[in-house]
Structure 1
Amino acid sequence: MKRLILTTALTMGIAFPALAVEIAPGDKLAANQSYTFWLLDAIKTADPHKNSDVEGSDIIRQLFEGLLTSDAKGAPVPGVATSFDISDDKLTYIFHLRPEAKWSNGDPVTAGDFVYSWRRLANPETASEYAWFMELMNVENASAVVKGEKKPEDLGVQAIDDHTLEVKLTTPTPYFPKMVMHGSTYPVNQKVIEAEGDDWTQPGKLVGNGAYVLTSHDLGVQISMDKNPNYWDADNVVMEHLKGLTVNDNNVALTRYKAGELDRVQIPAGQYPAQKKEFPEQAISIPYSCSYAYLFNLSEKGPEALKDVRVRKALSYAMQRDVIVDKILQGGQKPSYNWSHWAIEGFQMPEIDYASWSQAERLEKAKALLAEAGYGPDKPLKLTLQYNTDDNHKKIAVAAQQFFKQLGVQVELNNVEWKVHTDRLQSQDFDMARYAWCADYNEASTFLDYFRSTGMNYGKFNNAEFDKLLDESKASEDPNVQYTAAEKILAEEMPLIPIYQYAKVDMISDAIKGLPTENVMNDWLGKDLYRIEK
């Protein structure tokens, strides 16, 4: 076995030093160490194995900690594990857990906790939307366990002793260490879950191993967390309190930010230039590894019209991405003609034909395709576009409705709340739906694996050649060869309308220090933050 070096702290025989917050020279700490951040929607769950939302992940990252975590630039650094070894065939990982890691109730965190948790994630009885992630990690027997063909005990993970965890893979996976940074792989406390059942995530009952504990949660209003005194590095955690405030109206949220009620908030569409001019030190726009699209429902429950690739291409070609980015959003986002985000580490943007066409050319080809498919004035195409409540989503949907109208396509807009939206996506109860995918780890496969026939894939796209390419990429010396080919299949089959690739466009209080601005994943940790006197 050889030890993979991530940082000096991960080399053989060197103890990992405390990850102390680095206070910048000249910064004077405020007496009140609290951070209040904006949430657009209610947090559906604080269960790491049942969450599928970005905002839920932000909360879970504070309450729990995985084997590895990320530094300010998103690189893997020790979490519960201080180091790991890899076998020569790259199929076995041995993680060495820090003995000082504890649950918030004071119990030790052990390798057995990870074994229980990974089995729970893969177990069909858990009904986790992220069970497939264990398959993507290529953990031995994961697919059979997820399908119910084997028992969770057959999953390729075992505790050698309390502080040594062994994971067996079916194929070498170079980005595996990045995957164990994801919230679905975090440990949960078996005793608490068995004692409390579905209520185990409630304040006063939730036991985590992260830097914070859950103190209150008023669903759709606020969620509060306090510093966990039993966290292994608690002595170096400066920020005492975290609070998320749910404000469905982004403009109202910005007003509350300016009133001092929030320390970070998304800048509403179109307002970044003005905010940057007025508050140059607070308004930011940085790459953010998420892609915004409209999904087509290609399942049996979807409209018959959308099963015709000519219709799907016509609708995609009609989307005026430059208008969305330059006129509506105005925050540094980029027009998108593919799925994977341009800033993902190592990703090589493929050449996609319609990306180089003028919008006039796209519209001309779109009209011809729609006519070929049999739609026109005598037989207009009628569809419904569903989106969740947000002013930005509404502006884009209204614009899209007009773009489609130029084709003679009649699109009805259907605005629903987030929970309804996600429930309908999961049950394929939509025609077209607003969707965004944010990377689970910093590698292009996190985007492309979504559209596998076995992926989350709410629109139920199914292409054997696409699946084969992604299977091949796992053992490829240069997986970008397969990624490029897979992206071209998406462009040819068009199971989605790519619209834009995100930038993180926020107002951040100049009193808050430590939020990452060089991490394309934009994963933040309260334990890295501090507030200064102003």
Structure 2
Amino acid sequence: MTDTTLSRLPACRRHRLLKRIALATLLLSLAVPGMAATLRIDNSAEPGTLDPQKTSGVWEARIVRELFETLVSQDPEGEQVPGLASHWQLSDDGLTWTFTLRDDARWSDGQPVTASDAVFSLRRLLSPEIAAHNANLYYPIQNARAVNAGKANPATLGVHAVDDHHLEIRLERPTAWFLQAMAMPEAAPLPEHVLEADGERWVMPGHTVVSGPFTLSEWSPQDHITLDKNEHYYDAGEVALDEVILYPLEESAAALNRFRTGALDISYTSVPGGRFEKLRQELGNALRVSPLVAEYFYMFNVRPDSPLSDIRIREALNLATRREVITEQLLGMGQTPSYWLVPRVTSGGTQGELPMAQMSMNERMARARELMKAAGFGPNHPLGLTLRYNTLEDHKKIAVALAAMWQPLGVEVSLINTEAISHYAAIREGDFQLARYGMSATLNDPYDFLGSYTTGSSAARSSGYHDDTYDRLVEQSSEAIDPSARVELLTRAQQRLLDDYALLPLYDYVNTALVSERVHGWESSPMDVHPLRYISIEE
């Protein structure tokens, strides 16, 4: 068996953890008595829910990570560290994980967190009525796919509480990234005794019982959410913040102005691309820029009743898209023009690109016109398309630019702008033709992106995409043990998706955030995870 505990972490990671603990202890000792340490964050959008198994947006995940501790947690650099589980073991055949819960894990109502809570949570996560966004990440668990499809009772899921402190999870196949999935918010144990009593009200202030470093104190829709320090958290003594206030600001100019005045300590709303260089000079170290495992693309609705079910039109739109104009002239923040779905900074080395990636622009436009003519459209017989995007200055710029790039093909674009909640709700319902989409990794693994387009998964459900061969390649990649064989399968899967022009990729993200110099413990992370338990602020 392999075993993972704090004492067995590599020396460098153990040193970083001890150094952060020492810093937090020092800051706590210097705090002025009676003064609350309050952190104010622009969280970029209003959450649709705080139920960790029903969220889908990064702005929602930032909050639920603080409310619900996972068995496997993450440090500021995104490395896996013990959470509610003090340690875990994997059987020699790679099929059985055993998690040992820490003795001092408590819900915020004082009740102990048990292995039965973890079993309850995973069964709920895979139940079809929850429609969890990332349910496919847990398909390696025995019977998970059948449970999620409604073909098997949740009680048959391969999870078992050996006793109050030991959880056993049985897999159908060895899975390299499974431990990463257990660090995701949707996999956090949930308080069964509360959900049974309060139903849907359980994630509202006054009803929410949590296991994380913070509790839900206030939720004023479209205004703010307040989190208070959870005194029942197992590591509460090392949490430096007393209160966190999160604001759903979707307008980058408004967020920037608040940050300048000191009304915000951290802002996650994207920095306006056209003002990036000026802001870099003005804000200095407060403007943090780093690589991000995330992809910006447009999703096609490929259902039979959509004009984009025609691959000729999908290819033509990709051909006419000038990605370098978007990344260099509109944005200018170091984004990589993308001809793929899996960002190049993702671990694993997956390759593949759109077939037209190496063509000149003249060659691309000539072929695009031919394809549109063959599909029955052109300047004299235009194709009308609707394009959805969510509220943000740069999203609008890109949408307008795309409409102009496609106009010579005889494509007339009508823009539909809504706030993030409505935008993503429409995508989930398939109520779109073209829709702006941002996919931030929950796992630093190609499967997280490619798996979303397999039948029944989030992007496939929204877009209507389906290909049996693609599904098999992605599934085989999860079963592959040899790294080189796995890279080959993932590359073949991605290439098949791209040969099908199933989406319109634009660029690999970079992470931009505004972080006040008064904030300590915030680290750049390719997964954009910044646990508040490690953060402190100078008052």
1:313–1:250 CA distance, 2 compared to 1 (3 A): same
Structure 1 residue 121: deviation in Å?
A: 1.0
Cα deviations by residue, 1:163-206 (Å, 9 ceiling, x for unpaired): 10000011110111111011110111111111111111111110
1:39 is matched with 43
Paired residues of 1:249 and 1:391 also in contact (CA < 8 A): yes
Q: Distance in 1 between matches of 2:332 and 2:3?
A: 42
2:454 is matched with 452
Count of aligned residue pairs for this structure pair: 524
Paired residues of 2:66 and 2:531 also in contact (CA < 8 A): yes
1:494 is matched with 501
1:412–1:9 CA distance, 2 compared to 1 (3 A): same
Paired residues of 1:314 and 1:365 also in contact (CA < 8 A): yes
SS in 2 for 1:23: helix
Q: Distance in 1 between matches of 2:349 and 2:244?
A: 35
Q: Which of residues 406, 409, 417 in structure 2 aligns to 1:407?
A: 409
Paired residues of 1:9 and 1:82 also in contact (CA < 8 A): no
Paired residues of 2:27 and 2:536 also in contact (CA < 8 A): no
Match for 1:278: what amino acid?
E
Structure 1 residue 532: deviation in Å?
A: 2.8
Q: Distance in 1 between matches of 2:142 and 2:274?
A: 48
Q: Distance in 2 between matches of 1:25 and 1:187?
A: 28
- Report matched runs for 1:489-528 at 5 Å: 489-517=496-524, 519-528=525-534
Cα deviations by residue, 1:44-68 (Å, 9 ceiling, x for unpaired): 1111111111110000000011110
Q: Distance in 1 between matches of 2:127 and 2:413?
A: 40
Q: Distance in 2 between matches of 1:175 and 1:128?
A: 19
Matched, 1:249 2:251: yes
2:489 is matched with 482
Paired residues of 2:386 and 2:413 also in contact (CA < 8 A): yes
Q: Which of residues 421, 437, 448 in structure 1 aligns to 2:423?
A: 421
Paired residues of 2:465 and 2:502 also in contact (CA < 8 A): yes
Matched, 1:223 2:225: yes
SS in 2 for 1:88: coil
Paired residues of 1:63 and 1:208 also in contact (CA < 8 A): yes
Paired residues of 2:76 and 2:531 also in contact (CA < 8 A): no
2:290 is matched with 286
SS in 2 for 1:216: strand
Q: Distance in 1 between matches of 2:19 and 2:303?
A: 48
2:2 is matched with 3
Matched, 1:159 2:161: yes
Q: Distance in 2 between matches of 1:450 and 1:198?
A: 27
Structure with the bigger percentage of helix:
2
Q: Distance in 2 between matches of 1:470 and 1:520?
A: 23
Match for 2:402: what amino acid?
A
SS in 1 for 2:86: strand
Q: Distance in 2 between matches of 1:130 and 1:351?
A: 25
Structure 1 residue 26: deviation in Å?
A: 10
Paired residues of 2:341 and 2:505 also in contact (CA < 8 A): yes
Match for 1:508: what amino acid?
V
Matched, 1:21 2:21: yes
1:26–1:325 CA distance, 2 compared to 1 (3 A): farther
1:316 is matched with 318
Q: Distance in 2 between matches of 1:55 and 1:376?
A: 41
Paired residues of 1:271 and 1:330 also in contact (CA < 8 A): no
1:98 is matched with 102
Match for 2:430: what amino acid?
Q
1:437–1:351 CA distance, 2 compared to 1 (3 A): closer
Q: Which of residues 63, 77, 83 in structure 2 aligns to 1:79?
A: 83
Q: Which has the larger displacement, 377-386 or 147-156?
A: 377-386
1:57 is matched with 61
Match for 1:532: what amino acid?
E
Match for 1:287: what amino acid?
P
2:346 is matched with 344
- Report matched runs for 1:32-431 at 5 Å: 32-135=36-139, 138-265=140-267, 266-300=270-304, 302-303=305-306, 305-431=307-433
Match for 1:524: what amino acid?
H
Paired residues of 1:44 and 1:51 also in contact (CA < 8 A): yes
Q: Distance in 2 between matches of 1:443 and 1:38?
A: 28
Match for 2:49: what amino acid?
T
Can you give the 5+ residue segments of structure 1 that lack an aligned partner in the other structure?
none
Q: Which has the larger displacement, 381-390 or 351-360?
A: 351-360
Paired residues of 1:121 and 1:184 also in contact (CA < 8 A): yes
2:472 is matched with 468
Structure 1 residue 268: deviation in Å?
A: 1.7
Can you give the 5+ residue segments of structure 2 that lack an aligned partner in the other structure?
none
User: TM-score, normalized by length of structure 2?
Assistant: 0.93
Match for 1:275: what amino acid?
L
Structure 1 residue 10: deviation in Å?
A: 5.9
Match for 1:99: what amino acid?
D
Paired residues of 2:73 and 2:80 also in contact (CA < 8 A): yes
% identical equivalent positions: 33
Q: Distance in 1 between matches of 2:331 and 2:472?
A: 37
Paired residues of 2:20 and 2:521 also in contact (CA < 8 A): no
Q: Which has the larger displacement, 59-68 or 346-355?
A: 346-355
Paired residues of 2:24 and 2:238 also in contact (CA < 8 A): no
Match for 1:191: what amino acid?
H
Paired residues of 2:299 and 2:503 also in contact (CA < 8 A): yes
Cα deviations by residue, 1:340-378 (Å, 9 ceiling, x for unpaired): 111112234335442233333322222222222222233
Cα RMSD (Å)? 2.2
User: TM-score, normalized by length of structure 1?
Assistant: 0.94
2:444 is matched with 442
